Amino acid sequence: TTSIIPAYKTAFLQSCLSANVLTFGTFTLKSGRQSPYFFNAGSFHTSPLLSAISTAYAHTIISFLSSHPSIPKPDILFGPAYKGISLACSTLLELYRLDPQTWSSVSYSFNRKEAKDHGEGGGIVGASLKGKNVLVIDDVITAGTAIRETIRLVAKEGGKVVGFVVALDRVEKMPGPREEEEGVDDGEPRMSALGQIKREFGVQTASIVTSDDLIAVLRGKGDEGDIKRLEEYRRRYLASD
Ligand code: OMP
């Protein structure tokens, strides 16, 4: 059978499965949703896995930028603390290996969770964001809270977010008012968190894989019960676009 999933995505998903980056159970997400699966980018902690994830990000970023010629060349690859830090550093190295001419002049940068009041001070480590075009690299998008915080942070530092890249887009709908206030899903269809970010901030986005890719790879391999719970969860929270 022919697969419509590109080889680098399948390779990335295989690394995820082999490293148990993807776990099944009951997880309370940042958004308060109860998910039967969780993707932990912090599990890419050996050199082969770090290399696998940065290679996948680098390929995704290169094709993202070439398919969106209106995006200005990034000056900074910004990884929000904590999980974005190692991702930004290792992916920038990989981008430089793949295309030194383009990437030698790009810097990495990340925020401190607590501002430092001595030494060089400030809330940013790495290159200053002031007046810079910033490409954000993060692990996962679910309801879009983390990226909103990052867009605000970059703006506060005087930078401009020109793109947003994640490893996994869970393709979940953005929360409605009732979910935000009471944590109860009203069952109404809504657009995806990524789609909403595009619409609201004019920021283009990309992901290495989506939860569709995930299911395609799991089918026939994973535990039947896990897959069933995953599909039930997706029916409930899948975005309408
Ligand atoms: P949102 O802010 O709802 O988009 O959630 C994204 C953040 O949740 C990520 O930056 C992760 O820290 C975390 N997360 C995961 O790491 N893996 C998952 O599978 C799901 C989440 C999550 O809490 O939604």
Cis bond upstream, residue 37 (ω within 30): no
* Residue pLDDT, tens place only, 44-101: 999 999 999 999 999 999 999 999 999 999 999 999 999 999 999 999 999 999 999 9
Tell me what pLDDT residue 170 has.
95
Q: Do residues 183 and 155 make contact, with C-beta atoms less than 8 angstroms apart?
A: no
Tell me what pLDDT residue 1 has.
46
Q: Give the ligand 1 atom nearest the CA of 29.
A: 23
Of 3 and 175, more confident: 175
Structure tokens at 60: 């995704």
CB 193 less than 6 A from any atom of ligand 1: yes
Question: What is the C-alpha to C-alpha distance for residues 33 and 142, in angstroms, rounded to an integer?
Answer: 9
| Residue 116 known to be catalytic | yes
**pLDDT (mean) for 143-155:** 96
Tell me what pLDDT residue 3 has.
54
Residue 222 pLDDT > 80, yes or no?
A: no
Residue 146 pLDDT > 60, yes or no?
A: yes
**ipTM value:** 0.98
Rounded to 5 degrees, φ, ψ at 188 are -80, 145
Question: What is the C-alpha to C-alpha distance for residues 50 and 59, in angstroms, rounded to an integer?
Answer: 14
Q: Which residue, by CA, sits nearest to atom 22 of ligand 1?
A: 29
CB 29 less than 6 A from any atom of ligand 1: yes
CB 22 less than 6 A from any atom of ligand 1: no
Q: Which residue, by CA, sits nearest to atom 3 of ligand 1?
A: 143
Tell me what pLDDT residue 52 has.
93
Range of weakest confidence among 17-21, 61-65, 83-87, 127-131: 17-21
pLDDT band at 4 (very low <50, low <70, confident <90, very high): low
Range of weakest confidence among 27-41, 64-78, 180-194: 180-194
Q: How far is CA 199 from CA 7, 46, 142, 203, in A?
A: 30, 37, 16, 8
| C-alpha 20 to ligand 1 mean position (Å) | 17
Choose the catalytic residue: 118, 156, 221, 228.
118
Q: Do residues 224 and 31 make contact, with C-beta atoms less than 8 angstroms apart?
A: no
Query: In this structure, what is the dihedral angle of CA atoms 76, 129, 206, 18, given to the nearest 10 degrees?
Result: 70
Which residues 6+ apart lie within 8 Å of 25 measured at CB? 36, 38
| Residue 118 known to be catalytic | yes
H or E element, residue 30: none
Query: Which of 39, 53, 139, 142 should be mutated for ligand 1, with most atoms under 8 A from CB?
Result: 142
CB 87 less than 6 A from any atom of ligand 1: no
